[in-house]
């Protein structure tokens, strides 16, 4: 209930292009019967997520559908408590199983439940698959192995990251056999191995028939720039440390102690518990390796949300450790605690904790707030001392004092959840204000036909995805001078002679930094450097731009030493009309295509007006560019080319 209430305060998509991609795929599936965006070729991302979000985002009232989707997602993500409780119910007391479910539901990563992200479905699905893996290894009956294959298939259809589950399963079977000192146990799981292999082959074949790589929309994992072994190892270590930190230290320590306990054979552990330890350890190692390499190659910071689905299995092992009487020796405790603390201390928090990192690592929100209130040194000291205290408590807690460990974990998780949820609400509010304005559906409300959105790739491309998410009348994207990031079908082009642009619809959404030939029907404000907003235009055919500007702030200001330009695409004759607010004494230089037009020395708090004849273009039929340079802060209220 609390998650549902919190989700209603989310103002719209924040993480681009992910949320818009899933939303548009869901709309495409239910409205047109295909997993495509704007009807164009789209790589495979997920089937499960579009199936779940599509019914809500496909109803006539999109804002109502979005409002209904958010509490549904909170409920869906909370279903992870079911496999966690069911998994532990066969291993521990009912009270500890309920405690594990409560710890899982308190995870700060539930802040994603208000966003249209695959984490919402992947958390319960991967937990279900891991539980199925542990059960199939503990008792490798044909039925349990078939259920494992089915659970992995569901995970693959939710997120292709689940391709790692095949090597994870092989590793888990090997670990279980090692723990049991019986390699016959590994042979007993051959059906599941064959089934998972066939599943992988089926998926690869399906992608090949679609003309895509095995990784579909995540092809960047294999096609991105290669990284050195050192860089990959460094990011693997960072993600190991982040996993320790975000799960509260004790669960990772408990898993390591249990694994060492099984390896040393000091105590006989029943098959179900042993398989749980093996499956969780294999999953943790496999996912940290995969996500670490992926982040080094494609993200450049923590990809923590790709590890979120590991947390329930770690919590399961933590409660299992408590149920078994917190088994440990001085050596296993020191080794486990030392490894966990070393991983946390290896985190370069001053670099990894930043506003840019929050979409991929929302549980860092309280650390970022601490950093802004204090300093990088204080942040590092607090985190390392906190981790050291958690390790020390894990080492010394005995008997009745063991209850302190889950109590502190629950308190820390709840505090982190509040901070992370608040950050999501804040970021979605700012994103909506900056990129799409007060009414996100302004295009649909003003348009009377299909619309092309013209994207300036040098500015905020997430604004394009925001507009696509909210407005169904947009049927095409034209990118000028570059590419809009993400899988949206788009026509990439430069501005043609005379300002011609490749727009095939009569209506177009165009940034305020461009002035097209036509009449403006509607406008929404934005907070983006260089433009005040987006305009919906009825274009005069053929579609062309009259002018474009660059280098100015959203309010028209120019900073000292940073030139502003106005390009007119039909300038064979005419004048440059300029009105400047001179805010401090300065020198102003105006040039056309490098040729000096006028140099002005102006006192502060004055207004300068100019009407300068434009020079012939450098090339017949080409455009002309007026450049304004200032030595101080300068405002502009009029900047245009007046055809003669």
Which domains occur in the chain, in start order?
A: 2-431 (no CATH), 442-546 (no CATH), 551-643 (2.60.120.260)
- Which two three-digit tokens encode residue 279? 């499956």
pLDDT tens-place string over residues 318-364: 999 999 988 888 888 899 999 999 999 999 999 999 999 999 999 99
- In this prediction, residue 29 carries a pLDDT of 94
- In this prediction, residue 625 carries a pLDDT of 94
Higher pLDDT, 125 or 573: 125
- In this prediction, residue 107 carries a pLDDT of 95
Q: How would you list the strands of the sheet with 634-643, edge to edge?
A: 606-613, 574-582, 634-643
Residue 593 exposure: Cα atoms within 13 Å on the Cβ side? 13
- In this prediction, residue 213 carries a pLDDT of 64
Query: How does strand 531-539 pair with strand 507-511?
Result: antiparallel
- In this prediction, residue 218 carries a pLDDT of 53
Q: How distant is the alpha carbon of residue 233 from its chain centre?
A: 23
pLDDT tens-place string over residues 578-616: 999 999 999 999 999 999 999 999 998 999 998 999 998
Q: How distant is the alpha carbon of residue 22 from its chain centre?
A: 12
In the three-class reduction of DSSP (H, G, I as helix; E, B as strand; rest coil), residue 382 is classed as helix
Contact call for residues 319 and 99 (beta carbons, < 8 A): yes
Question: At 223, is the pLDDT very low, low, confident or very high (cuts 50, 70, 90)?
Answer: very low
Contact call for residues 284 and 276 (beta carbons, < 8 A): no
Distance between CA atoms of 398 and 43, rounded to whole angstroms? Answer: 53
Query: How does strand 474-480 pair with strand 531-539?
Result: unpaired
Contact call for residues 111 and 358 (beta carbons, < 8 A): no
Distance between CA atoms of 437 and 448, rounded to whole angstroms? Answer: 20
As a whole-number percent, the residues of the chain with pLDDT over 70 amount to 96
Question: At 618, is the pLDDT very low, low, confident or very high (cuts 50, 70, 90)?
Answer: confident
pLDDT tens-place string over residues 520-550: 999 999 888 778 899 999 999 999 999 999 8
pLDDT tens-place string over residues 186-219: 788 888 889 888 888 887 777 677 666 666 545 5
* Predicted TM-score (pTM) above 0.85: yes
User: Does residue 641 register a pLDDT over 60?
Assistant: yes
Give the total residue count for the chain. Answer: 644
Q: Quick count: other Cβ atoms within 10 Å of Cβ 146?
A: 15
Q: Quick count: other Cβ atoms within 10 Å of Cβ 445?
A: 11
Beta bridge partners of 565: 550, 627
- In this prediction, residue 219 carries a pLDDT of 52
Contact call for residues 434 and 527 (beta carbons, < 8 A): yes
Q: What is the mean pLDDT of the chain?
A: 91
Phi, psi angles (nearest 5°) of residue 474: -75, 120
Distance between CA atoms of 368 and 357, rounded to whole angstroms? Answer: 9
């Amino acid at each position: 209930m609390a998650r549902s209430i919190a989700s209603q305060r989310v103002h719209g998509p924040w993480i681009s292009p992910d949320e818009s991609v899933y939303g548009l795929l869901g709309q495409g599936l239910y409205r047109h019967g295909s997993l495509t965006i704007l009807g164009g070729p789209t790589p495979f991302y997920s089937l499960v997520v579009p199936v779940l979000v599509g019914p809500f985002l496909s109803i006539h009232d999109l804002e109502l559908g979005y409002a209904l989707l958010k509490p549904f997602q909170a409920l869906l993500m909370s279903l992870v408590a079911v496999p966690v409780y069911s998994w532990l119910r066969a291993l521990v007391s009912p009270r500890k199983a309920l405690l594990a479910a409560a710890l899982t539901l308190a995870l700060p990563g539930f802040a994603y439940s208000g966003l249209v992200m695959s984490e919402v479905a992947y958390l319960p699905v991967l937990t279900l698959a891991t539980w199925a893996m542990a059960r199939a290894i503990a008792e490798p009956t044909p039925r349990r192995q078939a259920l494992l294959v089915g659970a992995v298939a569901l995970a693959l259809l939710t997120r292709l990251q689940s391709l790692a589950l095949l090597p994870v399963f092989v590793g888990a079977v090997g670990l279980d056999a090692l723990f049991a000192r019986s390699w016959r146990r590994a042979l007993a799981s051959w059906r599941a191995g064959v089934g998972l292999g066939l599943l992988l082959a089926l998926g690869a074949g399906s992608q090949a028939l679609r003309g895509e790589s095995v990784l579909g929309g995540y092809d960047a994992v294999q096609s991105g720039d290669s990284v050195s072994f050192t860089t990959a190892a460094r990011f693997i270590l960072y993600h190991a440390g982040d996993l320790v930190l975000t799960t509260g230290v004790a669960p990772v320590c408990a898993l390591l102690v249990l694994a060492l306990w099984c390896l040393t054979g000091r105590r006989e552990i029943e098959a179900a518990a042993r398989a749980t330890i093996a499956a969780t350890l294999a999953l943790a190692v496999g996912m940290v390796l995969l996500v670490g390499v992926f982040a080094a190659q494609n993200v450049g910071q923590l990809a923590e949300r790709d590890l979120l689905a590991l947390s329930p299995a770690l919590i399961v092992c933590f409660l299992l450790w408590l149920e078994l009487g917190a088994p440990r020796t001085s050596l296993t405790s020191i080794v486990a605690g030392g490894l966990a603390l070393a991983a946390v201390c290896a985190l370069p928090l001053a670099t990894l904790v930043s506003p840019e990192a929050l979409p991929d690592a929302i549980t860092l929100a309280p650390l970022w707030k601490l950093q802004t209130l204090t300093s990088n040194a204080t942040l590092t000291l607090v985190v390392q001392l906190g981790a050291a205290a958690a390790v020390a408590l894990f080492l010394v807690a005995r008997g009745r004092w063991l209850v302190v460990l889950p109590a502190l974990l629950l308190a820390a998780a709840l505090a982190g959840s509040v901070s992370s949820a608040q950050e999501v609400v804040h970021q979605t509010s700012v994103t909506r204000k900056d990129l799409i304005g007060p009414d996100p559906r302004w295009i649909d409300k003003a348009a009377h036909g299909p619309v092309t959105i013209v994207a300036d790739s040098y500015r905020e491309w997430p604004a394009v995805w925001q507009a696509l998410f909210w407005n169904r009348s947009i049927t095409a994207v034209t990118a000028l001078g570059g590419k809009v990031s993400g899988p949206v079908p788009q026509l990439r082009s430069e501005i043609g002679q005379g300002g011609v642009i490749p727009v095939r619809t009569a209506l177009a959404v165009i940034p305020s930094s461009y002035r097209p030939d036509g009449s403006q029907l509607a406008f929404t404000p934005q907070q983006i450097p260089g433009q005040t907003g987006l305009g919906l235009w009825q274009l005069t055919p053929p579609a062309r731009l009259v002018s474009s500007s660059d280098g100015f702030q959203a309010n028209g200001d120019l900073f000292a030493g940073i030139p502003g330009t106005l390009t007119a695409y039909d300038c064979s004759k005419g004048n440059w009309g300029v009105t400047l607010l001179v805010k401090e004494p300065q020198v102003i230089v105006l040039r056309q295509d490098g040729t000096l037009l006028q140099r002005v020395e102006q006192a502060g708090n004055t207004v300068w007006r100019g009407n300068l004849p434009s020079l012939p273009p450098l090339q017949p039929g080409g455009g002309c560019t007026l450049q304004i340079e200032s030595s101080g802060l300068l405002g502009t209220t009029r900047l245009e080319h007046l055809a003669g």
